[in-house]
Every structure is written in structure tokens, then in C-alpha cells.
Amino acid sequence: MPEPAFFVVMLAKIAVVFGLMLLSVAYLTWLERKVISDFQVRLGPMRVGPHGLLQPIADGIKLMFKEDIIPEAADRAIYVLAPTLALIPAFISFAVIPFGDRVRLFGQSIDMVISDVNVGLLYLFGVASLGVYGIVLGGWASNNKYALLGGLRSAAQMISYELSMGLSVVGVLMLSESLSLVRIVGAQSKAWFILLQPIGFLIFLICAIAETNRAPFDLPEAETELVAGFHVEYSSMKFAMYFMAEYANMITVAALATTLFLGGWRGPFLPPVVWFLAKLYLVIFLFIWIRATLPRFRYDQLMRFGWKVLLPLALANIVITAAFVALR
């Protein structure tokens, strides 16, 4: 049995990361609205608090007090379970992502990661596969043609791009020789993997946007298409939970891109956590930028792109990288 200090440190890390995650998800909505409004040459939220900074809180309170409608025809148990199934994987993914180097605090050597699992990257892959359930069950439980179709399409999109995402990181694995994210960051001491795996990074980024159902891959859930897709029958906090899950996924996948390709917390002079957050912010800003700029893909274009372009490209990347690694 490990000493009590171990448990205290573990619980502290969990509490801090979970709390910050909730806060980040809320303020990511504010950030997105502000950035998009900048792109569209308007002001965005300005009234609620200075520069609209209290907007997420106001939105949260509003959603909490809205009427909780469950359609008559819906399957009650799964209708309530589905948003929960979407939320849980979104919030537990961050457990294996290192956000800083080892620190010495109160005489203890603490790793800046909640849990350095040996198969960290596979753990993330597994949790990502579970994200499909919340959406497809939500669509089905609503007992609504549009919701079901939207849910199925969203699920089909997610699994198609999950493949290329899984393949795009194989190159990184060949270079780092470990599935542990802590060790992958460690392996980037000489060069960030984006320099050695530029195509892998590109594929990963595209798949990340498709995985999280963000624009331009957000057809299954856009308001103007398929009447908002799988969450059309959802209101109040259950609806909010789906969105919390989406934004949390966005943060996690940006953090993963940072860890795998941008050297994680590595960087000179500044403390590691600062570097991590800076790179994280950069990737998130990129996601928002892409959303503000690109038009939406049609569903068949989306699926064709995933299977006929990204999948072969990812396989080619693996073949080329493997040739370099095995023959040097």
C-alpha cells in the first residue's frame, strides 16, 4: 500500500484538472464567440460582465432553469443515459495527458500527469471509440426520424475518421518506441515530431476536427441541416451536456496534438505548464479559425474524403516512415 501522500497528491491532481476542465469548457464557448465575431468584424458578447466574460455563467444558469422536456415517444432510460455516455469519456480522456515536467513540491517528486498509463495512447483511442455511443443512442432514444438519421450519420462519420486518426499516430510511435504519453513527450527533446511527421500531423488535425463533429465536418448536427440532427429533441441541461462533451473533446484532442506533435510541455525559459497551455491555445485557436473560415462539407463528400483520401494517405505515411526507421 502506498503512503498517504500518494493519495493526497493523486486526489489533488484529479480535482484540479477536473475543475479546470469544466471551467475551460465553459470559457471555450466565450472564446469561440469572441474569436468568430472578430473574424466577422463584429463585437460578440459584450454586455454580460466586462467584454461578456460572465456570458458562460449566464448561459449555464439559463440552461439549468429551462424546462426539462422528455418527448412522449422517447425511450426514457436511454434518453437520459445518452448525454451521460457522451459526457463521461470526454472528461476522462485527459487523465493520461502530461501537462508539465516532474516537479518537487513539499519534498515529493510529482509527475504532472494524473496517471501515466503504459498504454496511454491506446487508452485514449479506446475512450474515443466510446464517444460514439452517446450520440447514436441519443439519436435513437428520441424516437424521431431526423434524430436517428443524424445520430447514425454522426456515428458513421466518427468511426470513419477514427481509423485515419489511429493510423496517423503510428509514425509517432515508431519514433518514440512507447505508447506512454509521458515518454512520447520525452522522446521529443531533440525535435518536435511535427518536423519529422508533418503529414501525420496534418491527418491527425483533420481527423480531430471530424471526430469532434466541428465545422467543416459538422453536418450531422448543424441547425440548418437535418434540423439539428441527433439532439433535436433535447432541451435544458441534457442538451448542454452534449455541448460540454463536444468542447471537452475539442480540448482533449488539441492537447493530444500538442503532446504528440508539438513537444507537449517542452520549451526553453518559461515553466513547462505555460508552454503546454500556450501550444494548447494555439491549436484550439486553429480549430476556431477553421470553423470561422471554411464552408460545411456535404455528407457524401465527407465520407468519401475520409475513406478514399485520408486512409490511403495515412497508410502511405506509415509505409514511408517505417522504411526510414527500420533501415537506418
Q: Which of residues 121-140 bind other proteins (CB under 8 A)?
A: 121-123, 125-126, 129-130, 132-133, 136-137, 140
Residue 110 phi/psi, 5° resolution? -115, 130
Residue 47 within binding range of other proteins, rule CB under 8 A: no
Nearer to other proteins, 64 or 103 (CB): 64
- Residue 222 engages other proteins in binding (rule: CB under 8 A): no
Q: For the window 174-203, what string marks contact with other proteins as x by the rule CB under 8 A?
A: x-xxxx------------------------
Q: Shortest distance, CB of residue 84 to other proteins, whole angstroms?
A: 4
Q: Which residue has the cell 458562460?
A: 56
Alpha-carbon distance 80 to 12, whole Å? 31
Q: Are 235 and 69 in contact (CB under 8 A)?
A: yes
Work out the burial of residue 158: count CB atoms within 10 Å of its CB; fewer than 13 is exposed, 13-18 middle, 19 or more buried. Answer: buried
List of residues 6+ apart from 188 with CB closer than 8 A: 176, 263, 264, 266
Residue 284 contacts residue 257 (beta carbons within 8 Å) = no
Cα 109 from chain centroid? Answer: 29
Closer residue to other proteins, CB minimum distance, 111 or 277: 111
Least separation in angstroms between CB 118 and other proteins: 6
- Residue whose C-alpha cell reads 455511443 in the numeric block: 133
- End-to-end distance of the chain based on CA atoms, in angstroms? 45
Q: H helices within the chain, ranges in order?
A: 4-39, 55-64, 76-92, 120-141, 145-168, 170-176, 181-186, 193-196, 198-211, 236-261, 272-293, 299-304, 311-327
CA distance 32 to 44: 10
Q: How far is the CB of 101 from other proteins (least distance, A)?
A: 18
Q: Which CB, 41 or 319, lies closer to other proteins? A: 319
Q: Is 300 in the site for other proteins (CB under 8 A)?
A: yes
Beta carbon of residue 121, minimum distance to other proteins (angstroms, whole number): 8
29 binds other proteins (CB under 8 A): no
Here the cell at position 173 is 510511435
Residue 18 touches other proteins, criterion: CB under 8 A: yes
Determine if 144 is a binding residue for other proteins (CB under 8 A): yes
Judged by CB under 8 A, which of 16, 119, 270, 320 binds other proteins? 119
State the minimum distance, in angstroms, from the CB of residue 258 to other proteins: 20
**What are the φ and ψ backbone dihedral angles of 109, each rounded to 5 degrees?**
-95, 115
* Amino acid identity for residue 193 in this structure: F
Which one of residues 232, 251, 254, 313 is an interface residue with other proteins (CB under 8 A)?
232
Site for other proteins in 146-175 (CB under 8 A): 146-149, 152, 155-156, 159-160, 162-163, 166-167, 170-171, 173-174
What residues between 93 and 112 interact with other proteins by CB under 8 A?
95
Question: Least distance from C-beta 37 to other proteins, angstroms?
Answer: 28
We find the least distance from the C-beta atom of residue 38 to other proteins, in angstroms, to be 31
- Does residue 322 touch other proteins according to CB under 8 A? yes
